[in-house]
């Protein structure tokens, strides 16, 4: 029999200590627990030997994670994998280990306590506190965190790149510019799919040197791709037929409109601008998108958009939206024209 009053206490107490579960995930990822656990499962003592940990403390870590469905308990007191814990392995193609490390990076623990102030002011104020904006801080002052970030973005992209490349239905013989395309997972997928397509990967200077080796000089796609460094809020110095902005329009609204205007200015006549986002009101993972929305408020004075807020900013930047459709389980693809009359 359910008791709503008891359930309310349980829910609130669990949420209040949710940081403990996030920290437990991070610790398991750092220690390599999921990699050490084979298909048969293992006892905490066996695992402790494999990952060089204290057996009692490791058992407590496993117990905390099993309480959330990450790892399962065996009748003999051992632990086994679940679908969730397998995503923490490094050798699975759908691994989210770097995503877990990114979401729990040390800088995140330092910004969360400022949330009440940010909600009061409507601004996270990262630049005021650190003397530079978040991405400049990341690439200049926290290069190890930047590496984790870029690996995490690539991991997240691998879940959707094939579906997006299909959904774009490119006509061939076109130039596709992936604006703020990170390490180029999506662009690589697009180039793989059609040998007549050319591409450009545009991102901040700190992001490009470690992009996918197939895009770099001497790589498989080097003769069809340009690597262009810049700040898209200032200009996008490369021409193209199709511009893609995936999980990029997450800054303050003025920066988002500036980036979209610069993209619109760089398109050829009739040029297509495709925005791909997980919308807060179009996603099955609202717990994730709403928390990410708050983190974006704190680090870039930004947001995860509702459908209407994003469409409003695209219109403000002069784009004519022609279609909004889901792509894969988590994302929406918003198709637009930079100059609808062309």
Ligand X SMILES: C[S@@+](CC[C@H](N)C(=O)[O-])C[C@H]1O[C@@H](n2cnc3c(N)ncnc32)[C@H](O)[C@@H]1O
Residues that bind ligand X (CB under 6 A): 135, 153, 157, 180-182, 203-204, 207, 231-233, 246-248
Residue 80 DSSP SS3: strand
Q: Which residues have C-beta within 8 Å of that of residue 157, sequence separation ≥ 6? A: 182, 185, 186, 246
Residue 110 CB, nearest approach to ligand X (Å): 20
Residue 131 CB, nearest approach to ligand X (Å): 17
Residue 301 CB, nearest approach to ligand X (Å): 13
Q: Which residues have C-beta within 8 Å of that of residue 266, sequence separation ≥ 6? A: 177, 235, 236, 237, 238, 239, 240, 243
Which is nearer to ligand X, 51 or 238 (by Cβ)? 238
Q: Which residues have C-beta within 8 Å of that of residue 342, sequence separation ≥ 6? A: 269, 270, 271
Residue 247 CB, nearest approach to ligand X (Å): 4
Secondary-structure breakdown of the chain: helix, strand, coil percentages, each rounded to the nearest 5: 50, 15, 35
Burial of residue 186, with CB atoms counted within 10 A of its CB: 0-12 exposed, 13-18 middle, 19 or more buried? buried
Which is nearer to ligand X, 28 or 180 (by Cβ)? 180
- Indicate the helix (H) or strand (E) that contains 300: helix 286-300
Q: If you search the block for the tokens 């459908």, which residue do you land on?
A: 307
Residue 57 CB, nearest approach to ligand X (Å): 34
Which is nearer to ligand X, 198 or 233 (by Cβ)? 233
Which is nearer to ligand X, 88 or 177 (by Cβ)? 177
Residue 243 DSSP SS3: strand
Which is nearer to ligand X, 24 or 176 (by Cβ)? 176
């Amino acid at each position: 029999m359910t008791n709503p009053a008891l359930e309310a206490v349980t829910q609130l107490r669990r949420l209040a200590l949710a940081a403990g579960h996030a920290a437990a995930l991070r610790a398991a990822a750092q220690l390599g627990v999921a990699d050490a656990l084979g298909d048969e499962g293992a006892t905490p003592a066996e695992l402790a030997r494999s990952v060089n940990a204290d057996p009692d403390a490791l058992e407590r870590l496993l117990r905390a994670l099993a309480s959330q469905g990450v790892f399962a308990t065996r009748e003999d007191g051992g632990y086994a994998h679940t679908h969730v814990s397998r995503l923490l392995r490094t050798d699975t193609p759908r691994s989210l280990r770097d995503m877990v490390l990114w979401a729990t990076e040390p800088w995140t623990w330092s910004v969360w306590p400022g949330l009440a102030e940010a909600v009061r002011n409507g601004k996270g104020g990262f630049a005021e506190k650190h003397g530079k904006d978040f991405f400049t801080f990341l690439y200049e002052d926290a290069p190890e965190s930047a590496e984790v970030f870029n690996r995490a973005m690539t991991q997240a992209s691998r879940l959707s790149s094939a579906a997006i490349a299909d959904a774009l239905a490119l006509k061939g013989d076109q130039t596709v510019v992936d604006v703020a395309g990170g390490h180029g997972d999506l662009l690589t997928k697009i180039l793989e799919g059609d040998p007549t397509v050319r591409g450009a990967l545009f991102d901040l200077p700190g992001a490009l040197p470690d992009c996918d080796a197939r895009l770099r000089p001497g790589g498989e796609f080097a003769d069809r791709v340009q690597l262009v460094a810049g700040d898209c809020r200032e200009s996008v110095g490369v021409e193209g037929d199709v511009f893609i902005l995936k999980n990029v329009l997450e800054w303050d609204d003025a920066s988002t409109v500036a980036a979209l205007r610069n993209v619109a200015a760089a398109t050829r006549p009739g040029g297509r601008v495709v925005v791909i986002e997980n919308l807060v009101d179009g996603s099955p993972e609202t717990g994730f998108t709403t928390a990410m929305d708050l983190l974006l408020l704190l680090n870039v004075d930004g947001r995860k958009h509702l459908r209407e807020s994003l469409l409003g900013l695209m219109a403000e930047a002069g784009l004519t939206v022609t279609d909004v459709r889901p792509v894969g389980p988590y994302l929406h693809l918003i198709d637009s024209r930079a100059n609808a009359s062309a």
